[in-house]
Structure 1
Amino acid sequence: MADKLDEYQGVTGRWHGFKDRCKERYAQWKEDHPNGIVEMLKEALFGIPTSDHQPDRAYDNSDYSDLFRRKNRLELMRISAAVMGIEFSYAGETAFVSPILLQIGVPHEQMTLVWALSPLIGFFMTPLLGSLSDRCSSKHGRRRPFIFLMSIGVCLGLLLVPNSESLGYVFGDLGAINRTEVPSVLGPRSSVLETEGTNHHPWGVFFTIIGTVLLDFDADACQSPARAYLLDVTVPEDHARGLSTFTIMAGLGGFMGYSLGGINWDDTSIGNFFGGHVRAVFSLILIIFIACVSATITSFKEIPLDELHQYEEFKKSAEPAAQLQVESQGNDVEQVEKDVLRKDCSTYGTLEEPQSPSVPNGLPIHEGHGEPLSVKHYLISIIKMPNSLRIVCLTNLFCWMAHVCYSLYFTDFVGESVFGGNPAAPIGSESRINYEAGVRFGCWGMAMYSLSCACYSTVIEKLIKKYGAKKVYVGGLCTYSFGMTLLCILRSQVAVILFSWTAGVMYSTLFTMPYLLVAHYHATGMWDSAGGGCNEKRGIGTDVAVVSSCVFVAQLLISFIMGFTVKATGSTAAVVGVAATLAAAAAVTATKITYLDL
């Protein structure tokens, strides 16, 4: 007996206990999934989730019936495919735009001015585009025309950036004098550029800047209608699942995009076919981007605005009869009101007051006699937004500032503070080699952050259901702040890979939580904990665009702050230090958000 007791003590005992728990969990899993893992995967991908609420059949139009049912995971992936293409374009942009500008003679001190052009345009244009999409009268719907137009701008940017130098030659640039083929992470540079005032690529610089602005602005602007489209064509029960899928696709796009740029295409037949490494990368990204956007805009039809007005009349005529029928069945009046609010207040994209809800699933209603929302009213609605939405925007601003620190300056931090390199050192020197090695290693860290974003997005929906939106939001921000703090202290290669995963948690959080909150405010018609509605006539497209515009403000502020901070501290470690501080500030403001019952 003593021998048997000894067997289950110490390491051996813990091992037997672990095996027993594994056997119990496997038995439970087999009981819950009698058809095996293959059928489980089929159900997860192709099975349409059930709903406690039957879809509204008042609008009997088979062309749009799919808008009123729940979507399976593959359908959500197709709806979200556009953001994967956008993230591919982002990866190419962040990896190569700066080197191209340096290569054709743009000084470092002017680089921030180039990057500031897109945020300046986007801050004013993106919310306006969101408002216009709320009342777009195209026969193809409200969101898809804007996705298509923004995608054209992205395609033009993807074509201009890698070919700007060649276009400059066509327009009269003198070309590169004394070009030297020097191994460098920035590629071969012309030695004439080392001499101040000898830039022979004015047209090349012009086309690169135009391509950069088109690529950066349109990629940012395209995300708002893409998100609004997702919310429009899915029922409220699928919004959390859809937004998490949206973020998964974004993370996978970033991960594959950075990996695509890490391949040496010059040694492949593809590189030879397209004319070099940079052109090969941008050409492949262009093809992938077109395929992704095409998959999204052909997934589900949108109901045109004029038909939505007809649907409103159907709803108004059907509501009294439906209410009488429910009351005749003896249902609780309070429960009836909750069901009506839950079902009919899902007015995504609506421009009508919450007190008179009409159309579910993001189908917009206009005020009074159907007049479109004026630009003046739109601008006032931004200034006079509900306090709950204002706090969401403030939190999202801090989040984006913390993330921009990482995404724009991380490779430079790794090159200088982790590898001890110097970007200003002569080419071929040990200090310059170390810096370039750090930049390449930093790209692996960014690939890990994109992969982390995709992985975390698969569980964020479950975490919200289990722990609540507030704990998930604040916890994600604290995780990133903690990771960046440790990275600032340790500054090692292991820390770069390990704590880059916390950046993925942050990106997934800011990509999901603010939009889930905005959708919930519109779905319930409530904007405060007391159950009060918003007195302003607001559309979800407008509010999604306003929240998204925080990224433009963040990029502008960081571009001014970071240079002074690095100079004052004398180290690029300030990059991750500022990121940690801003994430902590976001966590504090996130505790003040109105979460209602999320």
Structure 2
Amino acid sequence: QVANILLNGVKYESELNGSGETSEQPLSVKLLCSTICQMPKALRNLCINHFLGWLSFEGMLLFYTDFMGEVVFQGNPKAPHNSDEYQKYNAGVTMGCWGMCIYAFSAAFYSALLEKLEERFSTRTLYFVAYLAFGLGTGLATLSRNIYVVLSLCATYGILFATLCTLPYSLLCDYYQSHEVSPGLGRGEGLPLHPLMLCPPQFIGSQAEGTRRGMGVDISLLSCQYFLAQILVALAMGPLTAAVGSASGAMYFASLVSFLGCLFSSLCVTYESPPTEELPPAEEQRPLLPRA
């Protein structure tokens, strides 16, 4: 599905480049920074929501095995190697690795089902369910001490991972391509369907104004949220776990951020094509003289 999304983006870019508006301004750091600062509101909200998703997921992923060893199995990694506490910690880390296997299988299984689910449910619903499931999964795992319950909740982690790797890019393609054209326009009326009619102007930009955007840059902006989340997790999780005293702090953090992303995806993310100028009726765009 991700491959289809990228192929659609490449097809759109090729049509746009062949539409007569060519780029004469070379790529530079200044132009790239301008593109980032002047991104449309819909794209900015999507990037923020994507960042929240990766922030919660990375917070869980980096500390999950440590959480299993310290909290669930009541082990101590600083204890002597021949002590029972250290053996419990090792057993917890081993069990945590099995939990990561469950997460990987659930991510693969949900990825296979996601395309079918998109046909029955809206993107808003799938986005909301993914964040909600992950928030509940990490929260309940932190509160529970039952090994089987904690392991079974790993399936919710795969749901969010598959969602983060697919739906944001699908929404970005919708922003570029989903614009309804008047019925009959370019279909048997002697008028070709111009590629620029398929894309909202705030995502195309204007070459004359120096605001021309490209789908490749916007896809990169989405992908960068993954690395920004890793940087913040690396900076914040150490002091947080030290303040709490165990890896439970990282799991609580992941759960809270996921619930925040759940609300943000429902209230702020745009799931429909951004507003564009309405095209004139098809009758007004017909040629005065019929073509031979």
TM-score (norm 2): 0.77
2:221 counterpart residue number: 546
Partner AA of 2:12 in structure 1: T
Contact 1:347 1:364 in 2 (8 A): no
Is 1:588 aligned to 2:257, yes or no?
Answer: no
Query: Matches of 1:367 and 1:570 in 2, distance apart?
Result: 59
* Aligned counterparts, 1:178-327, within 5 A: 231-232=5-6, 234-235=7-8
What's the offset of the Cα at 1:544?
1.1
1:475 counterpart residue number: 129
Partner AA of 2:270 in structure 1: T
Partner AA of 2:240 in structure 1: T
Classify the secondary structure of the residue corresponding to 1:382: helix
1:404 to 37, 55, 58: 58
What's the offset of the Cα at 1:230?
5.5
The 3 A distance-change label for structure 1 pair 562 and 491 is farther
Query: Matches of 1:474 and 1:488 in 2, distance apart?
Result: 21
Contact 1:421 1:432 in 2 (8 A): yes
Query: Matches of 1:541 and 1:466 in 2, distance apart?
Result: 29
Query: Matches of 2:20 and 2:89 in 1, distance apart?
Result: 57
Classify the secondary structure of the residue corresponding to 2:247: coil
Contact 1:421 1:433 in 2 (8 A): yes
What does the per-residue CA deviation read over 1:465-517, in whole Å, with 9 as the maximum and x for residues that have no partner?
Answer: 21110011011110110111111110321122111100000101111111111
* Aligned counterparts, 1:546-565, within 5 A: 546-565=221-240
The 3 A distance-change label for structure 1 pair 582 and 549 is same
2:83 counterpart residue number: 429
The 3 A distance-change label for structure 1 pair 374 and 570 is closer
What does the per-residue CA deviation read over 1:239-280, in whole Å, with 9 as the maximum and x for residues that have no partner?
Answer: xxxxxxxxxxxxxxxxxxxxxxxxxxxxxxxxxxxxxxxxxx
Contact 2:131 2:160 in 1 (8 A): yes
Task: Give the fraction of aligned pairs with identical amino acids, expressed as a percent.
Answer: 30
1:347 counterpart residue number: 12
Query: Matches of 2:23 and 2:84 in 1, distance apart?
Result: 72
1:188 counterpart residue number: none
Classify the secondary structure of the residue corresponding to 1:347: helix
Is 1:573 aligned to 2:227, yes or no?
Answer: no
Contact 2:135 2:254 in 1 (8 A): yes
The 3 A distance-change label for structure 1 pair 597 and 389 is closer
Contact 2:178 2:273 in 1 (8 A): no
Contact 1:480 1:580 in 2 (8 A): yes
2:202 to 523, 528, 533: 533
Bigger shift: residues 570-579 or 405-414: 570-579
What does the per-residue CA deviation read over 1:257-310, in whole Å, with 9 as the maximum and x for residues that have no partner?
Answer: xxxxxxxxxxxxxxxxxxxxxxxxxxxxxxxxxxxxxxxxxxxxx9xxxxxxxx
Query: Matches of 2:255 and 2:230 in 1, distance apart?
Result: 16
2:150 counterpart residue number: 496
1:487 to 134, 141, 144: 141
Aligned CA RMSD, in angstroms, stands at 2.5
The 3 A distance-change label for structure 1 pair 370 and 497 is same
2:73 counterpart residue number: 419
Query: Matches of 2:173 and 2:65 in 1, distance apart?
Result: 35
2:177 counterpart residue number: 523
Bigger shift: residues 428-437 or 367-376: 367-376
Classify the secondary structure of the residue corresponding to 1:425: coil
Query: Matches of 2:19 and 2:100 in 1, distance apart?
Result: 43
Contact 2:179 2:273 in 1 (8 A): no
Is 1:449 aligned to 2:103, yes or no?
Answer: yes
2:160 counterpart residue number: 506
Contact 1:456 1:505 in 2 (8 A): yes
Query: Matches of 1:588 and 1:398 in 2, distance apart?
Result: 11
Query: Matches of 1:552 and 1:593 in 2, distance apart?
Result: 21
What's the offset of the Cα at 1:564?
2.0
Contact 2:144 2:150 in 1 (8 A): no
What's the offset of the Cα at 1:597?
6.2
Gaps of 5+ in 1: 1-75, 77-226, 237-301, 303-345, 351-357
What's the offset of the Cα at 1:371?
4.7
Structure showing greater radius of gyration is 1
What's the offset of the Cα at 1:433?
0.8
What's the offset of the Cα at 1:366?
8.7
Query: Matches of 2:234 and 2:261 in 1, distance apart?
Result: 19
TM-score (norm 1): 0.39
